[in-house]
Amino acid sequence: MSRFARAENARISPATSCRLLLAFIGAASLAACAQSPVGRQRADLGTTTRQSAIERPHRVAALHPHPIFRPRPSHDTASTRPTASQGVASFYSDTETASGEKFDKNELTAAHPTLPFGTKLRVTDVSSGRFVTVRVNDRGPFVHGRVVDISPSAAEALGMVDKGVTNVRLDVVR
């Protein structure tokens, strides 16, 4: 019997037929998605010009069903200085900072997770009211619940060396 004759007489197993059916259904659903109006609408939006977006504002609204709220900054001089955060501060010592500087325990420096290097922060002890201005030159702290790590000299200025940690308020100076 030839190879072709065996192939004609051979039956497809149920597992193979199930796989073929699933592949066919998957291909059909992908083809249906490609023809959906939402897919065409998003494709149309990618190539729109500013004039056509003005002429057809409903297209833009379809992507953002709820208005986007963006608070406007007030021009009040008291609120132009942003507060970075409030929480627990600790002090640390390291050999090298994330900014590439060599760590100096005698400088008034700090580690903050997100503020840019060189940012001046006023760190105020909430309980005593003492404050110190530090410069961000490192990343951290990497302990949950802490907002800033300060150098030992800054910790000494705040009077927190014996406590180890203290509640502080951070204000961006510049």
Q: 50 falls in which pLDDT band (50, 70, 90)?
A: low
Structural domain spans, the chain: 3-63, 79-172
Both structure tokens of 130:
């003492």
Both structure tokens of 145:
């619940």
Q: Is residue 60 over pLDDT 50?
A: no
| pLDDT of 71 | 61
Asked if CATH classification 2.40.40.10 holds for the domain at 79-172, the reply, yes or no, is yes
Q: Which residues contact 105 (CB under 8 A, 6 or more apart)?
A: 93, 151, 152, 153
Q: Is residue 77 over pLDDT 60?
A: no
| pLDDT of 119 | 93
Q: What CA–CA distance (Å, rounded) separates 91 from 110?
A: 8
Q: 62 falls in which pLDDT band (50, 70, 90)?
A: very low
E strand spans, 15-159: 83-91, 109-111, 120-125, 131-138, 146-150
pTM for the full predicted model: 0.52
- pLDDT: which is higher, 9 or 109: 109
Both structure tokens of 174:
């510049």
- Max Cα separation, the chain? 98
| pLDDT of 61 | 45
Q: Is residue 111 over pLDDT 60?
A: yes
What does the mean pLDDT of the chain come to? 76
Q: Is residue 124 over pLDDT 80?
A: yes
Tell me the pairing of strands 131-138 and 109-111.
parallel
